[in-house]
Structure 1
């Protein structure tokens, strides 16, 4: 990933540029119906990181990322969400082949023929880039809607388990996508915008759980659930961003997606299994 993205050893392999923030989480009355996880059913402090990552498919596109930690001690959950509801690879082997296809030639330029050949053979790897192309990023982190691409098994106090997908929706912020595709706003401007908004007033996000239906694909992170935008969702709570935190606080946190409090289980797909194993390794190599 670092070779394909052209970043150094000391930074993250993806979403390398970010801003650390702090806040609080307030659960809703619906939360206990979905999960018994205390990280989602009890108030807590929040440590979060907004970040950007340029798309390998289109250098003028930029993914927005939102990582956050809820709960405390052994009842802590850490999630990563992004402004695209799908990932760019279904399996680890496919991801590796995708990245190899995007390695630059010896002259430093992309091998367009190799990329096009791979994309034609694996069209599902274009789903993320196609979504971003059709839904240009919002003008601010604060007005961006974020998704978790994995299906998480959630168990409530009655012992009932169903799959959910996380959707983080802005509250009280203008969330209008550009009508025409324009050159993406530089990361520095996004960070400055975020800091000025936090200085003016708190920023709120609704933490939503999209509820599964029979037959929904839970093993393939390159596709969405049918009618995902219009289906039933439960509001688990509200994240309130109140201040800017030193970036090293988020670097130390790691935000490993395998950190999940009882009541939210690990997704069954292959890509999540790979992520949970590599986050700690990535953090160690950045030291």
Structure 2
């Protein structure tokens, strides 16, 4: 019982720290700025090679949300601000919610480390977080720099529609032959990632990203390939701060195509959460600590929204 209370306190601390960092109270704890959209999902004829989950093997409507992380009151954007793309496939007993972001790795490996990482970034009365403590923490836990280093080395494109997104966890998937392997989800724009050279990002504000999204949807639809990167027996599945070996060049299967067709009122997405615990049979829960913590934290965050 004491262990359960301790875990619950850690999960509540994660939400509290995120809200302090982003300057939110009743809004989402992370990726608070965003735009709700809708569309359709078209499965490929190879989806059942990876999973029997009807979320991925059957056509369905899509509810999704593009978002940016960071302080809700800030307007400036840049290469160091993560973007998010959460989407819901299927419905009823066959619903799956997948949360992806514009970096393929997370900033913490263990829950205790995640709590400390976030608390270190809480703003002080005098302003932002303490840079001396942050440097000391990074030196003691170098894996917490992996995400920031990746983001700094990979300039973002000027549009949500041109961004590639990853789910950082390894999901156990069971295919039509009963074979089980770990996969990672990758969401890639059909037209290709349009990252700019030299680290230049023309979309300098969340409003600019939002305006671009509305213009693109007004002119046409936006299409993403939903990919499953296929795991190997020796891949690390418990550490979300590192990538699989040769991850960018390894075998992948296109599960289907996500077609975004319209802007949806924000209230449609704000009425619930994209819950990482919603996974239809055929896709299992990742075994890492961070996934379990995120499931709990999302429930707490929803309960605290006004």
TM-score (norm 2): 0.89
| Residue 199 (str. 1) matches residue 218 (str. 2) | yes
CA distance in 1, matches of 2:250, 2:29: 34
Q: Aligned match of 2:28 in 6, 12, 21?
A: 12
8 Å CA contact 2:111–2:290 kept in 1: the answer is yes
- Give SS of 1:240's match: strand
Which residue number in structure 1 is paired with residue 101 of structure 2?
A: 82
- Give SS of 1:150's match: coil
Task: Specify every segment of 5 or more residues in structure 1 that has no aligned partner in the other structure, as ranges.
Answer: none
CA distance in 2, matches of 1:6, 1:33: 41
CA distance in 1, matches of 2:57, 2:24: 39
Which residue number in structure 2 is paired with residue 38 of structure 1?
A: 54
Q: Aligned match of 2:188 in 151, 164, 169?
A: 169
Greater percentage in helix: 2
Runs of 4+ in 1 over 4 A off after TM superposition: none
1:157 Cα deviation after fit: 2.1
Q: Per-residue CA shift, 1:153-180, capped at 9, x if unaligned?
A: 00112211100000000012x5221212
Q: Aligned match of 1:48 in 56, 59, 64?
A: 64
CA distance in 1, matches of 2:187, 2:19: 31
- Give SS of 2:224's match: strand
1:221 Cα deviation after fit: 0.5
8 Å CA contact 2:22–2:30 kept in 1: the answer is no
- Give SS of 1:126's match: helix
> Relative to structure 1, is the Cα distance of residues 259 and 3 closer, same or farther in structure 2, using a 3 angstrom cutoff?
closer
| Residue 99 (str. 1) matches residue 118 (str. 2) | yes
| Residue 178 (str. 1) matches residue 178 (str. 2) | no
Equivalent residue pairs, number: 284
Which residue number in structure 2 is paired with residue 218 of structure 1?
A: 237
CA distance in 2, matches of 1:79, 1:280: 15
CA distance in 2, matches of 1:104, 1:254: 26
- Give SS of 2:69's match: strand
1:105 Cα deviation after fit: 3.0
Q: Aligned match of 2:283 in 264, 270, 285?
A: 264
8 Å CA contact 2:21–2:123 kept in 1: the answer is no
Task: Specify every segment of 5 or more residues in structure 2 that has no aligned partner in the other structure, as ranges.
Answer: 1-16, 72-76
CA distance in 2, matches of 1:257, 1:3: 19
CA distance in 2, matches of 1:250, 1:103: 27
1:214 Cα deviation after fit: 1.8
After superposing the two structures, state which structure 1 stretch, 78-87 or 101-110, moved more: 101-110
1:4 Cα deviation after fit: 4.6
CA distance in 2, matches of 1:2, 1:37: 32
Which residue number in structure 2 is paired with residue 139 of structure 1?
A: 158
Q: Per-residue CA shift, 1:31-75, capped at 9, x if unaligned?
A: 0110000000000000000000139xxx84211100000001110
- Give SS of 1:239's match: strand
Greater percentage in strand: 1
CA distance in 2, matches of 1:6, 1:150: 24
1:3 Cα deviation after fit: 4.9
| Residue 73 (str. 1) matches residue 92 (str. 2) | yes
